[in-house]
Amino acid sequence: MVKVHPGREMTHFYGTLNLLTGAAVAQHGPLMNAEATAQHLETVLAKFPDGPLLLFWDRAPWHRGAAVEQVLTANPRLQTMFFPTAAPELNPQEHVWKAARTTISHNHAETQLRTLAERFQKHLNETTFDYSFVEKYNFESLCARFK
């Protein structure tokens, strides 16, 4: 017997991967919009208070908007660079999502979405993800362009 929730319960995650250390900054919430993105940016800025930050982004619509622009304008040390359209294989965060889903949410027996989401977020924030973006795409060369 497979139990199915009669509603459409869901949660969303924001995540940022430190390409040098493999550490992730993740949080979940009910919406993906410019305000939630701005809140995540504030979390990332607080997590890395020193020095410049270069954020590689996909072209999701919630990565734009007045709230996002306000955070970017107020924090010139945070710069963004967009991945090409329809190129999820270039985005290291996509690899993080896949690894976390495989470990936490595939074939699970959890009946409460909130509990599963908390486990998922805890795993993201406590795991070091091994991804070779730095070597694969000449990360240092890209960063030099933003100094």
Tell me, yes or no, whether 139 lies in a domain.
yes
Give the chain as a DSSP string.
-----SS----EEEEEE-TTT-BEEEEEES--SHHHHHHHHHHHHHHS-SS-EEEEE---GGG-SHHHHHHHHH-TTEEEEEPPTT-GGG-HHHHHHHHHIIIIITT-----HHHHHHHHHHHHHH-B----HHHHTTHHHHHHTT-
Residue 1 lies in a domain: no
The pLDDT tens digits of the residues spanning 87-118 come to 888 888 988 999 999 999 887 788 888 898 99
The answer to whether residue 100 is domain-embedded is yes
In a domain, 111, yes or no: yes
Whether residue 3 lies inside any domain: the answer is: no
Q: Is the pLDDT of residue 49 over 90?
A: yes
Domain of 56 in residue numbering reads as 12-144
**Could you read off the pLDDT of 3-21 as tens digits, one per residue?**
666 777 788 999 999 888 8
Q: What is the pLDDT of residue 140?
A: 62
What CATH number is given to the structural domain containing 77? 3.30.420.10
Residue 122 lies in a domain: yes
**Is residue 2 in some structural domain?**
no
The domain total for the chain is 1
